[in-house]
């Protein structure tokens, strides 16, 4: 197979017909190229298979509002888990500066985006969980509401610490374009009536917030 591939490359490049052609040198070069391409493909497949090693991933966020940074993390969650559960945190907090939207609005954002992106079969459950004074009680509520999961996807260190202490692997997806895709900045833009917030969130979120009567306080 190496010989056939090498001969094909050399013939296409008209190297075989060249009077300066050195079969050993050019043949070895072709084999090296072929080997590189082959093993590069195997390496990428190995990396992909290692990332996708969990049956169910749990992705936790407040989604105040759902922005494109969340979409990046959601994509990573879909790579880590064969299926994904999404938890809307702090569902008992709304109409405040940091948590302006009711959980039902946030859930609608998620459902619309998941539907538009064609992820309905991948993201099997979207649920809510309020905050509690006790971290351990909060954890038990998360487990009860989520059901079985094997890995947690989050960039929140408080959540990560609780989950790691409980024995769950935590995948930190990283904060994509943090300087522009930060919830506190986007909420401020909306409060101030600036139009550039629409560039930072998915289109369904723009539509939902534009027609929602629950304005940022």
Q: What is the CATH number of the domain that holds 68?
A: 3.40.50.620
Which pLDDT does position 92 carry in this prediction?
93
The pLDDT score that the predictor gives to residue 205 is 93
- Measured over all CA atoms, what is the biggest interatomic distance in the chain, rounded to whole angstroms? 82
**pLDDT at residue 165, as a whole number:** 97
Query: What angle, 0 to 180 degrees and rounded to 10, lies between the N-to-C axes of helices 23-51 and 68-80?
Result: 100
Same domain, 68 and 118: yes
Q: Which residues of the chain have pLDDT under 50?
A: 1-17, 21, 41-50, 214-217
Domain that holds residue 33: 2-49
Name the domain count of the chain: 2
Residue 91 placed within a domain: yes
Q: What local confidence, expressed as pLDDT, does residue 196 receive?
A: 82
Note the pLDDT tens digit of each residue in 23-58: 566 555 655 565 665 555 444 444 444 455 899 999
H or E, element range at 63: none
């Amino acid at each position: 197979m190496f010989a056939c591939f090498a001969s094909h490359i050399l013939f296409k490049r008209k190297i075989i017909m060249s009077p300066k052609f050195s079969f050993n040198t050019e043949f070895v070069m072709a084999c090296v190229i072929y080997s590189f391409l082959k093993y590069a493909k195997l390496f990428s497949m190995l990396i992909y298979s290692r990332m996708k090693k969990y049956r169910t991933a749990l992705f936790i966020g407040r989604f105040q509002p759902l922005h494109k940074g969340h979409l990046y993390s959601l994509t990573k969650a879909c790579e880590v888990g064969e299926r994904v559960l999404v938890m809307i945190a702090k569902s008992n907090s709304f109409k405040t500066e940091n948590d302006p939207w009711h959980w039902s609005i946030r859930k609608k954002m998620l459902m619309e985006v998941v539907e538009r992106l064609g992820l309905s079969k991948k993201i099997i459950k979207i649920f809510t969980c309020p905050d509690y004074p006790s971290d351990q009680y909060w954890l038990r509520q998360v487990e009860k509401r989520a059901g079985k999961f094997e890995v947690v996807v989050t960039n929140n260190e408080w959540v990560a610490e609780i989950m790691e202490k409980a024995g769950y692997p935590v995948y930190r997806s990283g904060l994509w374009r943090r300087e522009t895709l930060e919830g506190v900045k986007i909420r401020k833009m909306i409060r101030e009536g600036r139009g550039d917030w629409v560039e930072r969130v998915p289109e369904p979120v723009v539509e939902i917030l534009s027609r929602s009567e629950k304005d940022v306080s």
